[in-house]
Amino acid sequence: MEKTRLTAVRVAQFACPTGKQQTFLRDAEVGSLALRATANGAKSYVFESKLGGKTVRITIGDPDTWTIPLAQAEARRLQTLVDSGRDPRAEKAATIAREQQARTAEEAAIARQRVIARDAWDAYCLEGKTNGTGRKPWGELHIRDHAAVSSRGGEKLKRGDGLTQPGLLSNLLDRPLVDLQPDLIEAWLVAERATRPTRTNLAFRLLRGFLNWCADQPAYQDLTNTKAHESRSVRSKLPPTNAKNDSLQRSQLKPWFAAVSRRGGLVTSTYLQCLLLTGARTNELAALRWTDVSFTWNTLELHDKVEGSRTVPLTPYVKALLLKLPTTKSPWVFASRSKSGHITDPSDTHNRALRDAGIEGLTLHGLRRSFASLAEWIKLPRGVVAQIQGHKPSATAEKHYIVREPDLLLLCHKRIERWMLKTADVLQPNMDNDRASSAAT
């Protein structure tokens, strides 16, 4: 087969003769290199050799891109592979595969950076509200906590002038999810714990639940590092948690009832008194509906975070308070103009009442603690108090053998109510014609 020394002029002038599909101009200097021209006018350098008795042909590239020296060098390289018994086509396929894999990895890295933590957070919160991330959907307080720590702020304050501040997790959630690594979480804890230790602890717990959820989701598990909250260095930066012991003392009952009765409207004042007299959790009492109240059977049906719901006694004074509330405009017992339709957080009113009464450091949850603590004065059985408040049984006998009827709970509950009201010099209603009193007589 005739070979010709390739030159720029010969390459430019070479063309496929009429009536042929393709023709080759073979290089005299590198025997395995040829210039191919096709009937449609296309040209390309090709490598052609023998491997195992079979022809191996590989396209090198377009003459407009490849110079003659570069094409010759590539042909020599490919011939070296053939001489060593390796198929250049397999080598080329492997190279293409590696390049594709590298491109895919690069694209994946770019895509990872585009997954913002807030997008995953929104999906997490939606799942929590709808189906729950545990045994049941989230409660209202849990939903509010997630909204508060993730808020970007900048909204007009409901009271006073100015704008709301960003939530504790806002800056973290605006970063790519893959950025939530131990060093970042540790730096965040150090910055926030100095000024807001209690809220920082809460925000960390919510962030921990979020990252654990992400680790179980196919869409986010490759982007999530659960060690971001598990590492010892991170946990060592958590603010210390001290158990609260705020509780009303016996001597504080009178000024507390007097101040709460003066402060706030009818709904807020009633709600605060009922918190103390029922020992209920703030959110479960706030979400009480009129359909949950039985004035006939003297019971309240509270939505319990432990058991789902529980029935507690409706004592005479609490009953008298509820009968004074409007019942026609809202399904909620403690109705308000909030988005939820019911009272949410009357801490401001309570704090003003505490200042009037000269009492310091009593939270709304402290009223629940006060119920259990003050019950010690009349020596109510702890199991009774725990059942009224919705605590889990703490002993085998309580869990499996003691069954208290509603009438018995009502009798016990009325004792603590009477004692509190008498101690506070609050006039007690004459409403003793209920089923429990009849049974006792």
- List the Cα angle 157/160/165 in 5-degree steps: 35
Tallying the residues shown for the chain, one arrives at 441
Tokens of 215: 């680790």
Tokens of 422: 């008498």
**pLDDT, tens digit, 9 for 90 and up, residues 6-26:** 999 999 999 999 999 999 999
Provide the pLDDT for residue 273: 96
What are the residues whose beta carbons fall under 8 Å from the beta carbon of 266, sequence distance 6 or more? 324, 325
Flag whether pLDDT at 391 surpasses 70. Answer: yes
- Rounded to whole angstroms, the Cα distance separating 103 from 189 reads 37
pLDDT band of 1, cuts 50, 70, 90: low
- Rounded to whole angstroms, the Cα distance separating 179 from 185 reads 10
Buried b / exposed e across 257-287, counting CB within 10 Å, b at 16+?
A: bbbbeebbeebbbbbbbbbbbbbbbbbbbbb
Question: Average pLDDT, whole number, for the chain?
Answer: 87
Choice between 12 and 112, residue whose per-residue pLDDT is larger: 12
Residue whose structure tokens are 């004459």: 430
pLDDT band of 437, cuts 50, 70, 90: very low
Provide the pLDDT for residue 397: 44
Flag whether pLDDT at 248 surpasses 70. Answer: yes
Provide the pLDDT for residue 96: 86
pLDDT band of 154, cuts 50, 70, 90: confident
- Of residues 297, 350, 315, the one with CA closest to residue 421: 315
Choice between 282 and 133, residue whose per-residue pLDDT is larger: 282
**pLDDT, tens digit, 9 for 90 and up, residues 260-281:** 999 878 999 999 999 999 999 9
* Share of the chain residues as helix, strand and coil, in percent rounded to the nearest 5: 50, 10, 35
Provide the pLDDT for residue 77: 93
- Of residues 73, 20, 17, 81, the one with CA closest to residue 49: 81
Domain extents in the chain: 3-98, 117-237, 250-424
Choice between 125 and 92, residue whose per-residue pLDDT is larger: 125
DSSP secondary-structure letter at 337? S
DSSP secondary-structure letter at 343? -
Flag whether pLDDT at 42 surpasses 80. Answer: yes
Task: Say if 3-98 and 250-424 have the same CATH topology.
Answer: no
Tokens of 398: 């309580």
**pLDDT, tens digit, 9 for 90 and up, residues 299-351:** 999 987 666 788 899 999 999 999 999 887 899 999 998 888 899 889 999 99
Q: Assign residue 129 a region: left if phi > 0, alpha if psi is -120 to 50, beta otherwise? A: alpha
pTM score, whole prediction: 0.57
Provide the pLDDT for residue 390: 85
What are the residues whose beta carbons fall under 8 Å from the beta carbon of 437, sequence distance 6 or more? none
Choice between 399 and 349, residue whose per-residue pLDDT is larger: 349
Percentage of the chain beyond pLDDT 90 is 58
What are the residues whose beta carbons fall under 8 Å from the beta carbon of 154, sequence distance 6 or more? 163, 164, 166
Provide the pLDDT for residue 438: 36
CATH topology of domain 3-98: Double Stranded RNA Binding Domain (3.30.160)
Least confident window among 234-238, 323-327, 432-436: 432-436
Choice between 264 and 3, residue whose per-residue pLDDT is larger: 3
Homologous superfamily in CATH for domain 250-424: Intergrase catalytic core (1.10.443.10)
